[in-house]
Amino acid sequence: MDSIVVKGGKPLSGQIPIAGAKNAALTLMPATLLSEEPLTLTNAPRLSDIKTMTALLQSLGVEVTALQDGKVQVLSSHAMTSTRADYDIVRKMRASNLVLGPLLARHHHAEVSLPGGCAIGARPMDIHVTALEAMGAEIELKDGYLHAKAQGGLKGAKVPLRFASVGATENVLMAATLAKGTTVIENAAREPEIVDLATCLRAMGAQIAGDGTSTIEVQGVDRLGAATHPVVTDRIELGTYMLAPVFAGGEIECLGGRIDLVGAFVEKLDAAGIDVSETDAGLKVKLRGDRPKAVDVVTEVFPGFPTDLQAQMMAMLCTADGTSVLEERIFENRFMHAPELIRMGANIDVHGGVATVHGVERLKGARVMATDLRASVSLILAGLAAEGETVVSRIYHLDRGYEHIEDKLGAVGAQIERVSE
């Protein structure tokens, strides 16, 4: 099993290219199920989760061709053979549930296993199910599978979401493109990945308005066609690498970065004493003083502070001047990185969904274990600031969301390598 070894204390300098968004690509790929004609995605990330989604789509009979070392994905659903998403694939990744809406919309039936992914809370499917039932679907949970059918096809409806769920918004948005009549999604998620999906669906011929707001209106069409679409920049990878020079010192430029993707995050960085400036190619980041300042963080749905940057922010605040309070409002069980940071000398108290971080001057290298995707990268970042050597094990989580992290950080001066143990 591979581990990442980091030796701290070396300032960073240079440019880090930011990949296409994992969470966007994993939504865009199932959109191919809505059409017989090909969907081409450019700027695709090269991650294990993309391989998992590829395997799932191929199990349904989708043809998937990777070009340009995986940065271009060409998908075609013209000869599908199945509408059953099996447990053996779905259990590996939460985003697998995004085939449910498209399969119902085009084929009027589907069998989808309950999904897996990181162990960061229940993340139930009931919002997805209730929303699709409002559009005329009949869905039954049996033997761990959602058995869904829509005799005569889905019908447009008013769909109020009890929570602004990104996944449920995506599932309903895709399903609504081929439904009969008009669908109005209320309390819709507003994340950039939603806007990116809507942009792609419009390129395929869908009629969608209001994406990026809390109310999305979709007028169903008879069919969707071919399209080529560039995957939006990964705002979570962007935020992660923006923190790297805060841990290690120095200054880096994140190529492809945009402030509108990480507005709430940038506001917290500014309050912590970190300069973020726009360039022609992206964003430059540098710490203003010797240590960041303590700030309080509450995770919220977009445009609030993203839960997927909470672990990285906590790691940064471990060496901040003062005491910070982080409140996790999106997922339960998402402070599992705290005990590992404590092994590195951090002073953290966790009570339920609230973590209090008392900043210390330095962290110390240690052997630590990744518990989920974002926790794993937070420990690598902490290693950049720590005295001595940090060894992060169980990094199979990491490869789900970050492509070649050791190469990207190594190229700007970090002492980091991947080793087999």
94 has binding-site annotation: yes
Indicate which residue of 118, 200, 254, 318 is catalytic.
Answer: 118
Q: Give, to the nearest 10 degrees, the angle between helix 166-176 and helix 100-107.
A: 10
CA R_g for the chain: 21
97 has binding-site annotation: no
Contacts of 392 by beta carbon, 8 Å cutoff, 6+ apart: 3, 4, 5, 6, 368, 369, 370, 376, 379, 380, 383, 398
Largest Cα–Cα distance in the chain? 65
23 has binding-site annotation: yes
386 DSSP assignment: S
Torsion on CA atoms 49, 55, 61, 63, rounded to nearest 10: 70
Residues 362/149, Cβ–Cβ less than 8 Å: no
Residues 228/42, Cβ–Cβ less than 8 Å: yes
Residues 387/364, Cβ–Cβ less than 8 Å: yes
Q: What angle do CA 280, 284, 285 make, to 5 degrees?
A: 165
**Token digits of residue 125:** 């499917």
Strands annotated E in 249-406: 250-255, 274-278, 282-287, 297-298, 323-327, 347-351, 354-358, 367-369, 389-393
What is the Cα–Cα distance from 388 to 373, expressed in whole angstroms? 24
Residues 229/27, Cβ–Cβ less than 8 Å: no
Q: What angle do CA 105, 107, 112 make, to 5 degrees?
A: 85
Cβ density class 257-288: b for 16+ within 10 Å, e for less: bbeebbebbbebbeebbbebeeeeebbbbebe
The total number of residues shown for the chain amounts to: 421
**118: annotated active-site residue:** yes
Q: How far is CA 132 from the centre of its chain?
A: 23
What is the Cα–Cα distance from 37 to 76, expressed in whole angstroms? 6
308 has binding-site annotation: yes
- The sign of the dihedral angle between the CA atoms of 244, 249, 254, 258 is positive
The binding site consists of 22-23, 94, 308, 330
Task: Please give the positions annotated as active site.
Answer: 118
The binding site for phosphoenolpyruvate consists of 22-23
The binding site for UDP-N-acetyl-alpha-D-glucosamine consists of 94, 308, 330
